[in-house]
Amino acid sequence: MQKAKLALKANAAHKTVVQLSDRVTVGGHDLLIVGGPCSVESQAQMEIIASRLATAPVQALRGGVFKPRTSPYDFQGLGLEGLQILASVRDRYGLPVITEVMAVSQIEAIAAHADVLQVGSRNMQNFDLLKALGQVNKPILLKRGLAATIEEFVMAAEYILSHGNPNVILCERGIRSFDPYTRNVLDLGAVVALKQITHLPIVVDPSHATGKRELVADLARAAVACGADGIMVECHPEPEKSVSDARQTLSLEDMMSLVHSLEAIAVAVGRSIPSGAGVVPRLSFV
C-alpha cells in the first residue's frame, strides 16, 4: 500500500464523513441503509419502492439506468428516461439516489439527476472514468472489482481522490472464487481491513455478494456487526419479476424486516440507524 497517499488514515481516529444530501451522511455514527431495485424499470415501480422505503429507516434509494450486463442481448437500462424517474422520486420522497455511471460520456447527465454516482465492479479500474469522476462535485460509490485485491481497490479510490474529489465511499460486493454456489464471496475481512487502513466510509452489498435472496439478510447483519458504515440491498415489489438480478432481490416486506433487525446490532456496535430520510407526499401518484 506504499503508493496510496490520500486514501490512508493519518491516525487511528481519522475518518471521512460523506454527505449524500442535506440530511444523509455515511461514515459517521449513523449507519447508511440503501435500498432499491437492480434496475429502474418504470415510474410506477420506483413510486411503490420509494413510498414504502420512505416509511422505513432507509436513507437512500438505488437503481441502475445504465446497466453493465454480461450479455449484450439483456436489458441495458432505461438510460435518460430512468434518470428522470430517479430524479422525480428523489424530489417527491426526499431520498437521495444512487445510480451507476459506466462511461465518461454519461457523467454530466447522471450528475445532474443523481446524488451519488456508482462505479460498478466491472469499471473499478477504468482509470479514465476514475480520473473524470475526480472532477465531479458529487460523492462516488466505488465498488470493488470482480477480482480486485484490497490494494487495487484502495488505489482505484486514490485515482478519484487525487483528481480532486474527496467524497469516495467504498463498497465491498464480493469477489470471484471457485465455488458457483454463491455468485461471489463476501469478503468481510476486507471490510475490517479497509476500516483499519483507510479513512473512507465502506458500505457492504450482500445482494451481489451472494446472488441468493435467502443469504442476504444474515450477511447484511454480519456486515453491520463487523463495522461496515452501511449496507446496500436490492429490493423490488415483485422480486421474481425483476428485469435483472431477480434471484438475489428481496421483497419490500423482507427489506423492512431486515432494516428493523439491524437496529439492535447497530446499538451493539455503537452505531445508530437514523429514522428514514424520506417523506411520504400527501398526494398519491397518478
Contacts with Mn ion, residue ranges (CB under 5 A): 38, 245
Residue 173 interacts with which of Mn ion, ligand PEP, none, CB < 5 to 8 Å by class: ligand PEP
Using rule CB under 6 A, residue 143 touches ligand PEP: yes
Q: Which does 229 bind (CB under 5 to 8 A by kind): ligand PEP, Mn ion, none?
A: none
Pick the closer one to Mn ion by CB: 25 or 118.
118
Closest CB to Mn ion: residue number: 38
Among 44, 68, 135, 279, binds ligand PEP (CB under 6 A): 68
Q: How many CB atoms lie within 10 A of CB 51?
A: 18
57 binds ligand PEP (CB under 6 A): no
Q: Which of residues 144-173 bind ligand PEP (CB under 6 A)?
A: 173
Q: What is the DSSP string of 39-105?
A: B---HHHHHHHHHHHTTTT--EEE-BSS---SSTTS----THHHHHHHHHHHHHH---EEEE--SGG
Among 90, 195, 208, 236, binds ligand PEP (CB under 6 A): 208
Closest CA to 99 of 252, 112, 191, 236: 112
Nearer to ligand PEP by Cβ, of 219 and 266: the residue is: 219
Number of H helices, E strands in the chain: 9, 11
68 makes contact, choosing from Mn ion, ligand PEP, none, with CB < 5 to 8 Å by partner type, with ligand PEP
| CA nearest neighbour of 140 among 163, 118, 166, 171 | 118
**CA distances (Å), 4 to each of 8, 23, 196, 226, 230, in order?**
7, 31, 14, 24, 24
CA 145 – CA 159 distance, rounded (Å): 14
- Count of residues touching ligand PEP (by CB under 6 A): 8
Of 38 and 170, which CB lies nearer to Mn ion in the complex structure? 38
Nearer to ligand PEP, 38 or 140 (CB): 38
Give dist(CA 79, CA 68) in Å, integer. 12
Footprint of ligand PEP on residues 82-141 (CB under 6 A)?
Answer: 120-121
Residues near ligand PEP, by CB under 6 A: 38, 64, 68, 120-121, 143, 173, 208
